[in-house]
A = this chain, B = another copy of it.
Amino acid sequence: MEYKKQVQRLIQEFKTDFLPSVSVDLVIFGFHDGQLKVLLLRWKNTEDWCLPGGRIRHEESLDDAAYRSLHGRTGLTEIFLQQFHTFGDTRRYVHFSQEQTMLRLGLAEEDLQEFSNRDVSVGYYALVEFANVVPTPDFFTDECRWWDINQVPPLLFDHNDMITLALKTLRRQLTYQPIGYNLLPEKFTMPDLQQLYETILGQSLDRRNFQKRMLGYDILERLEERKTGGAHKAPYLYRFDKEKYEKALADEILFVG
């Protein structure tokens, strides 16, 4: 059977071409117009969902392995991936029974070990404009699609924990790095930017404090034009000063008393 042969070839490649006992998993957040989603995969012939991920080739860096997986599932290349935590509990795989694996993937019994041993997995997250993504399943999965962040189903392994911690880290990132480039149109209003922050934080923010803090970062350029369509109170348009934005990304904004 052609499918079983492909499985055997992949299993063989895992043994010869990839680092054993370590892998990567990706929490890809998608933002669009006030919604925050996360990209999930459904295993072949099941209703079980999990995060995208993969293994690391012997001659490949950890980061390159993560980018290879990101590109495979989304078609994206130029996106900033942020490593956030490495997961190594002994009970990571506790919900993943060997029988299910066999059933799903048509593995031979001697290959089960390869799939049911505990890996240590390095978690990465990214935040993308989800209108730009072409979700694409991999060999072991039937479906790849966005799920609303508040409607994520129970996932395989420790993948729900991964999403929780990735979101916490993303929220913390808002306190020391700018965010928004590649997520908003080139020109945007202060309410657009505030909506982005509120969507990520999952809470509403005070308008005046938000504006004051954003302008204080000195990464925004206020344009002469206002948003069209509005009347008397049409809001100003802004754009990121790319150079200052990049500098703020690199420097981080540290508390110095």
User: Which A residues have a C-beta under 8 Å from some C-beta of B?
Assistant: 19-22, 56, 58-63, 65, 83, 85-90, 118, 120, 122, 168, 171-172, 174-176, 197, 201, 203, 205-206, 209-210, 213, 252, 254-257
Determine how close the nearest CB of chain B comes to the CB of A107; give it in whole angstroms.
21
A122: chain B residues within 8 A (beta carbon): 86, 88, 120
Residue of B nearest to A64 (CB): B90
Are A120 and B62 within 8 A (Cβ)?
yes
Are B175 and A254 within 8 A (Cβ)?
yes
**10 tightest A-B CB contacts, nearest first:** A62-B88, A205-B257, A175-B255, A19-B21, A210-B257, A22-B22, A86-B86, A209-B257, A86-B122, A22-B120
A118: chain B residues within 8 A (beta carbon): 19, 58
Determine how close the nearest CB of chain B comes to the CB of A211; give it in whole angstroms.
9
A206: chain B residues within 8 A (beta carbon): 257
Determine how close the nearest CB of chain B comes to the CB of A207; give it in whole angstroms.
8
Q: List 8 A-B contacts (CB under 8 A).
A: A19-B21, A62-B88, A62-B120, A63-B88, A197-B257, A203-B256, A206-B257, A213-B255
A174: chain B residues within 8 A (beta carbon): 254-255
Are B90 and A60 within 8 A (Cβ)?
yes
A56: chain B residues within 8 A (beta carbon): 88, 120
A61: chain B residues within 8 A (beta carbon): 88-90
Bound together, the chains give a CA A255 to CA B256 distance in angstroms of 16
A171: chain B residues within 8 A (beta carbon): 254
Known: A61-B88, A83-B85. A201 touches B20 (CB 8 A): no
A257: chain B residues within 8 A (beta carbon): 197, 205-206, 209-210, 213
Not counting A62-B89, A201-B254, a sample of 12 additional A-B residue pairs whose C-beta atoms are within 8 angstroms of each other reads A19-B21, A19-B118, A20-B20, A56-B88, A58-B118, A62-B86, A65-B88, A168-B252, A175-B254, A175-B255, A209-B257, A213-B255
Residue of B21, B197, B203 touching A20 (CB-CB under 8 A)? B21
A88: chain B residues within 8 A (beta carbon): 22, 56, 61-63, 65, 122
Residue of B21, B176, B205 touching A256 (CB-CB under 8 A)? B205
Known: A122-B120, A257-B210. A59 touches B205 (CB 8 A): no
Bound together, the chains give a CA A56 to CA B206 distance in angstroms of 47
Determine how close the nearest CB of chain B comes to the CB of A20; give it in whole angstroms.
5
A22, A56, A85, A213 interface centre (most CB from chain B within 10 Å)? A22
